[in-house]
Structure 1
Amino acid sequence: MEIIKKTVLFIVLLFCTAKGFSQNNDTVPKIKKDSTGTPRRAVAYAADKFAIVRPLNMEYSSVSPYSFSSKTPNNSFPQGRTNSFNQFKISANYNFIKRKTWLLGATAGYRYTQADAGMTNPFSGSPAALNENFHHLFSSVNFTYFSTLFNKRAIYGSSLIVDGSDQHLERIKGLLTGVILLKANQKTKMAVGLALSIDPSSGLPIIPVFTYEHKFNNGLIADVTLPKSVYLRKYVFNTARLSLGSELDMSSMYLYNLDGTRQRYEYRQVDINSGLVYEHAIGNFVITGKTGMKFTPQGRLFKKEDSFNDPVFETKPDPAFYFNLGISFNPFTFLKNNNK
């Protein structure tokens, strides 16, 4: 999921070159700078679009009980049941070097997962009860470069990402990203890009990305960032925004001592969260509430040195109801007076 998150960061930085701009043609105006030469609208728009690039973001999520099927490459098991699945996430972001054409910053985060489930042990084939707490930590150093390509605004990015658990440092990964703004006027913005993940565990090392935003005359906004999210948004109450749509999320955790050896495993599942999102600005803080249905096409357990495409155990959870409550510090607060 890091590859999608970082790619979205670079795309929304790119989009800001056309944000708030009263032009009706498809040219891209110059980026406004602050006293240090930082592309200020870039950082502001990115902070509005993507929670992880805000200086501080915290959120709690919970999923209703659900059943799931499971199997190994050679066996299928009786249906299991997840009784509770709760997560707490916190992330921080800071750009510590700012120049006219580039930024250098860092991101750090922590995710706590509590899971209680009845299932079949994939190694012994016997019934087992899972009641565990998992800790996942990550950090990255990010370099972003603003340029032009074919007379269009472009942004190139690279990230060095480190993650692990409370027990071990697990992976060092890299990410290279390039995005270009194809269209930018007062109502419509469109960009395309590619992201290359330097990570042996990645199921998709190269991801094409397409982003489209369009403002309708009735105040609705179509906000599409593939493969991350598809939303229809509406600003309400002057300092709030209501959205309907879907977005990708991921749950990942490292597991130890599963088979009586020192082998390390990772369990990873990609979720599609569909429903409503409400955001409300209070000063420099944004309160966010999300609710709807969580769809998980597949979850996989694989050896740490292998990839997501080589699982030793697979699960297929049923759809479940979810809710998420978050708060973030956003000094830019684009939710305020957005339409003025």
Structure 2
Amino acid sequence: MISRTIATLSMLVLSVDCLSQSTDSIPKVKKDTLNLPKRLVAVVADNFAVTRPLNFEFSNTAPYSYTSEQGNDKLPDSKVRKFQQIKMSANFNFIKRKSWLLGATAGYKGTSVETEIVHPGTIENTIFKDDFHYLFSAVSFTYFSTLFKKRTFYSSTIMVDGSDKYVERVKGIFLATMLLKANQKTRMTVGFMVNIDPAAQIPAIPTFSYEHKFDNGLIADIVLPRSMYLRKFVFKRNGRLSVGMELDQTNFYMYNLDGTRQKYEYRQLDINPGMVYEHAIGKYLMLTAKSGMKLSPNGRIFKKESSFGDPVYEIKPDPSFYFNVGVSFNPFSFFGKKR
């Protein structure tokens, strides 16, 4: 759910570029001078936009050890030998009007795990192997308005997720974002989002974005709670190198853990500091490579009808090295065109 919220927030943050002016004041815009959805889509369709129409990623995490607890019992240290993921997503805006936008998102995340589990009080190990499939789809409605003479975006999202076996949850997100500042060098927004999900870790959270273009070509790009990066265009702006960190989430549903029909969910928040390189290939393709350390405070298995705060099993992974490669297709790219 966090990743879907991040995509919506990122789209709105990118959209403020179409409102950038030579002053910081953002007055109420006349109806005949601004067709906001069209400009919004143009900016989101930029080569390096966060929200891309079609995206594919493969990631691999190096083997790592972890500690675990089941209830109040501490278990022996174990090791994850293999952790790989494939991610695919599609994002489209299919209805665009002057004051609102309707879009849809669908995606798939496949996780392949191989774990060496040490049993308490013995030297015997069990090798656990499995593949988990997580699917989701969402419809988002975004409305553009003004509040206190500031451009404001309101977005509501309904999301359905599940596995290759069952549809599991219906969730909701409400997001409000206000544009505080927008000029040729700096843009800044503030807002909040509400996560309508009984199993949510944090039901409500403030949001903030800040981008500043320095005279030396460096760009500070902060989108909280999503990411913090220092960016630089290279190779005649065909490439972009970024250093910083971003948040991600590993989650999937699990079945038949205890021989019953009980359904479980696994969730793990990942903090990924490192480097990102993106390179435009032709007009419509973008190649992306990421590498760095994966820091996961904890991962938890909990019953589907319970919450993340009430786990039946908890692990604390050690930091590990990861790499990620991806390709995205953007048929609306503005590559090679002056903006």
Q: Same fold (TM over 0.5)?
A: yes
User: 1:111 is matched with which residue?
Assistant: 109
Task: Pick closer, same or farther for the CA change 1:234–1:26 going to 2, 3 Å.
Answer: farther
| Bigger Cα displacement from structure 2, 325-334 vs 150-159 | 325-334
Secondary structure of 1:166's partner? Answer: coil
Q: Does 1:85 align with 2:106?
A: no
User: 1:68 is matched with which residue?
Assistant: 66
| Bigger Cα displacement from structure 2, 305-314 vs 7-16 | 7-16
Pairs within 5 Å for 1:323-334: 323-333=323-333
Identity of aligned residues (%): 52
Task: Pick closer, same or farther for the CA change 1:190–1:21 going to 2, 3 Å.
Answer: closer
How big is the shift at 1:167? 0.7
Q: In the aligned structure 2, how far is the partner of 1:77 from the partner of 1:45?
A: 50
Match of 1:184 among 158, 173, 182: 182
Task: Pick closer, same or farther for the CA change 1:337–1:284 going to 2, 3 Å.
Answer: same
Contact 2:189–2:209 (Cα < 8 Å) also in 1: yes
Secondary structure of 2:25's partner? Answer: coil
Pairs within 5 Å for 1:244-263: 244-263=243-262
How big is the shift at 1:332? 4.5
Task: Pick closer, same or farther for the CA change 1:50–1:253 going to 2, 3 Å.
Answer: farther
User: 2:210 is matched with which residue?
Assistant: 212
**Can you list the C-alpha shifts for 1:141-174, whole angstroms capped at 9, x where unaligned?**
1101111110001000111100000011110011
Q: Does 1:144 align with 2:136?
A: no
User: 1:280 is matched with which residue?
Assistant: 279
TM-score by length of 2: 0.91
Secondary structure of 2:297's partner? Answer: strand
Contact 1:256–1:262 (Cα < 8 Å) also in 2: yes
User: 1:154 is matched with which residue?
Assistant: 152
Pairs within 5 Å for 1:247-326: 247-282=246-281, 283-326=283-326
Q: In the aligned structure 2, how far is the partner of 1:33 from the partner of 1:81?
A: 62
User: 1:95 is matched with which residue?
Assistant: 93
Matched AA of 1:183: K
How big is the shift at 1:86? 0.6
TM-score by length of 1: 0.91
Task: Pick closer, same or farther for the CA change 1:64–1:334 going to 2, 3 Å.
Answer: farther
Query: What are structure 2's unaligned runs of at least 5 residues?
Result: none
**Can you list the C-alpha shifts for 1:36-93, whole angstroms capped at 9, x where unaligned?**
x562332233345654x32111110001111111012210011111111111111011
Task: Pick closer, same or farther for the CA change 1:44–1:273 going to 2, 3 Å.
Answer: farther
**Can you list the C-alpha shifts for 1:201-247, whole angstroms capped at 9, x where unaligned?**
10100011111111111010000111110100001112111000000
Contact 1:15–1:181 (Cα < 8 Å) also in 2: no
Secondary structure of 2:41's partner? Answer: helix
Contact 1:25–1:185 (Cα < 8 Å) also in 2: yes
Matched AA of 2:317: P
Give aligned pairs, total: 333
**Can you list the C-alpha shifts for 1:242-287, whole angstroms capped at 9, x where unaligned?**
0000000011011110011111001110101111100111111111
Q: In the aligned structure 2, how far is the partner of 1:273 from the partner of 1:337?
A: 33
